[in-house]
Homo-oligomer: A and B are copies of this chain.
Amino acid sequence: METGSNGSVTHRGNAKGDRSRQEITRIAIDCFAKYGFQGTSVDRIARMAGVTKGAIYYHFRDKEDLLIATVADRISAFETVVQHACEDLAPDRALARIAEINIEQARSNDQARFVITLMVEAIDTNAGVSAQLRDMMRRFRGFIRDMITEGQRLGVFVPEADAQAVASTYTSTILGAQIQFYQDPERFRFDEAITAWLSPLLSSLVVEPPRADASRN
């Protein structure tokens, strides 16, 4: 079992029936991912974790409190991965890399799918979780917007691009491609969809290298 990067995990020993808050959170993700929020009872999570319901309620007020902790854990992990991956990259390479990370995460585990499908489900059914995931998307768009603004400052991206609008198309395409991949993994061509989108987007953003004599015409 991994420990959280912030080191704040409350370990209460390793014996069966005495799991940490972090461990329960991670087991709950799999339960929610498999059965959905409605289909997951605290009873079911307790059985999967091998603890009593009381052990769950020791750490969490109710099922929604557990869901919110679960989602916060996943969001934080995603944001950490994205930030680390972009640290030493030029803005155009970083935009391509973030798209790759989203493809990798969508293909490799159910947790990204859980967060994305929950995000949509929560819009009409759970105001608290919806606000949490709305804030995640705002941060994601803000992160991409700042990357484009930085690229403009560095002279890599054209100054006339609307950074906020481009960030909105960026998150739109990645989100819509993920959903179609989850819906139709056999037919939806995830990689090709991303490549066919990213290539014209970057062409429109990146400043073309000056041609010989171009400045004299």
Task: Identify the A interface with B (CB < 8 A).
Answer: 33-34, 36, 38-39, 113, 116-117, 119-121, 123-125, 130, 133-134, 137-138, 161-162, 164-166, 168-169, 171-177, 179-180, 182-184, 187-189, 192-197, 199-201, 203-204
Contacts and interface: CB of A to CB of B under 8 A. Distances in A.
Contact of A203 (B188, B197, B200): B200
A184 to B, nearest CB: 5
Contact of A169 (B123, B162, B177): B177
A168 B192 contact: yes
Contacts of A195: 165
A175 B168 contact: no
B175 A180 contact: yes
Contact of A184 (B39, B137, B199): B137
6 contacts: A116-B120, A120-B183, A134-B184, A138-B184, A172-B180, A200-B200
A183 B121 contact: no
A55 to B, nearest CB: 27
A204 B39 CA distance: 45
A204 B193 contact: no
Secondary structure at the A interface, as helix, strand, loop or mixed, is helix
B179 A197 contact: no
A173 B169 contact: yes
A30 to B, nearest CB: 13
A133 to B, nearest CB: 7
Contacts of A200: 200-201, 203-204
A44 B34 CA distance: 28
A179 B176 contact: yes
Contacts of A36: 121, 124-125
